[in-house]
């Protein structure tokens, strides 16, 4: 018996609540803002069932677009993109993963984008950007800018949790199609 999308979402919410969500005193977020709601998604993204559910739900969210690659800014996008690549292979609709470094390596290939085979580039690639938690959208927008500068077309931006704090508007203003899997409202009592 295969779970429905609603059942997968409900189970993912449960796992995030158990492993990755905190409510309490104000904490500073990566965006610089503060909040009494905090998501540390690594314990969910690195959990076998959590990783699988995230990958399945994100693959469902891009079923209507042609995508060559899926990835985003290190570090949050790395486990997501890896899980999507593995699950996409099992599902018979493979999409490769990559990640964008926050700054190019100073040694070796000096690459900003990792995951491409030698000689391959982002030119003319159709790309889905993923991230774990979205507040203002800054990380995904940084990745999008770097990828577009290398010739990629961003076909969608996905996040596990949208904190509903301006990201949707920022992506719309940038002309990017944004789809959250979950939102902060899924975690408010």
In 113-187, DSSP assigns E strands to: 113-114, 126-134, 153-162, 178-183
* Domain 5-186 class in CATH: alpha beta
pTM, two decimal places: 0.92
Tell me the per-residue pLDDT of 22-44, one tens digit each, with 9 for 90 and over. 888 888 877 777 888 889 999 99
**Residue 103 predicted with pLDDT over 90:** no
């Amino acid at each position: 018996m295969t779970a429905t999308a609603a059942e997968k979402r409900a189970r993912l919410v449960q796992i995030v609540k158990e492993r990755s969500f905190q409510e309490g005193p104000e904490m500073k977020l990566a965006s610089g803002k503060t909040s009494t709601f905090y998501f540390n998604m690594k314990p969910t993204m690195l959990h076998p069932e959590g990783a699988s559910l995230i990958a399945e739900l994100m693959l469902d969210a891009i079923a209507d677009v042609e995508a060559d690659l899926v990835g985003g800014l290190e570090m949050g996008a790395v486990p997501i993109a890896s899980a999507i690549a593995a699950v996409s292979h099992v599902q018979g609709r493979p999409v490769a993963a990559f990640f964008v470094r926050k700054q190019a390596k100073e040694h070796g290939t000096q690459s900003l984008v990792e995951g491409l085979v030698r000689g391959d580039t982002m030119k003319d690639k159709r790309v889905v950007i993923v991230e774990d938690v979205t507040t203002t959208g800054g990380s995904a927008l940084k990745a999008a800018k770097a990828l577009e500068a290398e010739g990629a077309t961003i076909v969608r931006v996905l996040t596990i949790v949208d904190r509903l704090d301006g990201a949707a508007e920022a992506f719309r203003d940038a002309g990017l199609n944004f789809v959250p899997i979950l939102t902060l409202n899924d975690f408010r009592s």
